[in-house]
Structure 1
Amino acid sequence: MQIRISWPAGNVTASLDADSPTAQALAKALPLTSSACTWGEEVYFDTGVAVSRETDARQVVEPGTVAFWTDGDALALPYGPTPISRGDECRLASPCNVLGSLDGDAGVLATVRDGDPVRVELIDD
């Protein structure tokens, strides 16, 4: 399953695990528009989707991971350290459901500004 995430300065595509219950719930809510928040080198935004934390949820992930923050009903897109990271790791605010990964360089997320409108849509196969 592929999605496109767009904001005024750019866009990125991501590949999601189609078997993930969280990815399936997110897909049903697409397309969606939200307002970006930034936290260190992480972009996150509300999706309006409420799901439970999955058993394999993780707090430390690789840059470019597409994660779902169940505490905030938000997609979390880390591309570098956050304020609670140890060293260069991507440490999320709390354990998140891992949905997949961004295609290409996650560093493009550095062009997202707090408050930017963000659109997420499914890409037809």
Structure 2
Amino acid sequence: MRIRILWPAGHTTATLRRTPTSEALWAALPITSSANTWGEEVYFGTPVAASVEEDAAQVVEPGTVAFWTEGDSLALPYGPTPVSRGGECRLASPCNLLGALDGDPAVLRTVRPGDVIRVERA
């Protein structure tokens, strides 16, 4: 499953693996939301609610597509967050792992708080 993520200054694509949460997200697409940033992470609300999956993780690679169950949000880290230790990508809490961005995650640096974000099937 491939998705496209668009915002006023850019866009990227991601490949999702098949998980209960990614399938629920896929079924809800397209969605539009408002961007938030937290350190070097972009996150935004979705209409999807999910439980924490078995392989949920808090420390992930840059460009991971994660789902923050506590906020029903997609989380897209591209570098350190306020809770990171060193240069790691540490999410606020363990998140479901949905997949990864296809290109350089640094493109997310152009997302500004309040930007309209659209996620659609690619």
- In the superposition, the TM-score normalised over structure 1's length comes to 0.97
Which 4+ runs in 1 deviate beyond 3 A? none
* Structure 2 residues without counterparts, runs of 5 or longer: none
Quote the Cα distance in structure 2 between the aligned partners of 1:24 and 1:48: 13
Name the residue aligned to 2:53.
Answer: 54
Quote the Cα distance in structure 1 between the aligned partners of 2:71 and 2:47: 9
* Structure 1 residues without counterparts, runs of 5 or longer: none
Identity of aligned residues (%): 72
Quote the Cα distance in structure 1 between the aligned partners of 2:82 and 2:51: 25
Quote the Cα distance in structure 1 between the aligned partners of 2:47 and 2:99: 19
Quote the Cα distance in structure 1 between the aligned partners of 2:47 and 2:86: 32
Structure 1 residue 43: deviation in Å?
0.0
Name the residue aligned to 1:16.
Answer: 16
Is it true that 1:83 corresponds to 2:78 in the alignment? no
RMSD: 0.4
Is it true that 1:38 corresponds to 2:37 in the alignment? yes
Alignment map for 1:82-121 (pairs within 5 Å) = 82-121=81-120
Counterpart residue identity of residue 9, structure 1: A
Is it true that 1:64 corresponds to 2:63 in the alignment? yes
Counterpart residue identity of residue 120, structure 1: V
Q: How many residues align?
A: 122
Secondary structure of the structure 2 residue equivalent to 1:86: coil
Structure 1 residue 32: deviation in Å?
0.3
| Cα distance per residue 1:47-76 (max 9 Å; x no partner) | 011010001100000000000000000000
